[in-house]
Amino acid sequence: MKDLEQETNQKDLTFFVNGLKTCEKCDRLVRCRKQVTSGYGNLKSKIMFIGQCPGISGCNITGIPFTKDRSGKYFQQLLKKFGFHFDEVYTTNIVKCCPNDGRKNLNPTDEEINNCINYLLKEIKIINPKMIITVGSVARNNLIGKLDNTILNYHVWHPAYILRQKNREEEYFDQWRRVQRIFYKLKSDDDKKKMSLTRFMK
């Protein structure tokens, strides 16, 4: 059953990614992007991390969120520190193209977010996580009121912010400890339900 679900998710995600590759809704991004990026990780993950957009020297190059650049490396260190594995969670961005068009920061515009938000919502539906962690204020602010009430939703600061504000790192760790605590309780409750169901089936 799990293999069938994984295969179905893979087919749905492949169809989704193929649709992304042909997107030309944002003229500025079409001209400056190296590639259109989707998410990465375990398609059956119970937890999904959502950032704002591909980094210039990270996801824009690798096609994988939170990789290669300083923020990506720090994010992966945090996952490991708090008991997660990069390949076992699912990571993605709210905007799928890197806004590397000379703007002062990498924050996507409201128009770019609005053009991309339905892609993200489809991606969430395919992965069907039980818990979503928004990474940074852009992702958090633009998902308010758009998520299914059955999905737990928590927020952590973007790693780029902490790399500039090292004096707040302990506060940041507290955010991650909360995510860790709630996720493992969720996982434990889920395991108990599965055990009960197995006993009932016997």
Burial of 95 (0-12, 13-18, 19+ CB in 10 A): buried
Give the pLDDT score at 193: 62
Class of 2-201 per CATH? alpha beta
Q: Say how far apart CA 153 and CA 134 lie, in whole Å.
A: 8
- Give the phi and the psi of residue 6 in degrees, each rounded to 5: -60, -45
Which residue in 42, 118, 105 sits closest to 79, CA to CA? Answer: 42
Q: Can you state the angle between helices 2-21 and 110-127, rounded to 10 degrees?
A: 160
For the chain, the domains span 2-201
Question: Could you identify the residue written with the tokens 């992007």?
Answer: 33
Residue by residue, pLDDT tens for the chain (202 residues) are 455 455 667 778 787 888 888 899 999 999 988 889 889 999 999 999 999 999 888 998 999 999 989 999 999 999 999 999 999 999 999 999 999 888 877 789 999 999 999 999 999 999 999 999 999 999 999 999 999 889 999 999 999 999 999 999 999 999 999 999 999 998 877 766 654 544 444 4
Alpha helices in the chain (DSSP H): 2-21, 27-32, 59-62, 70-81, 110-127, 137-143, 159-164, 169-201
pTM: 0.88
Give the pLDDT score at 22: 87
DSSP H or E run through 92: strand 90-93
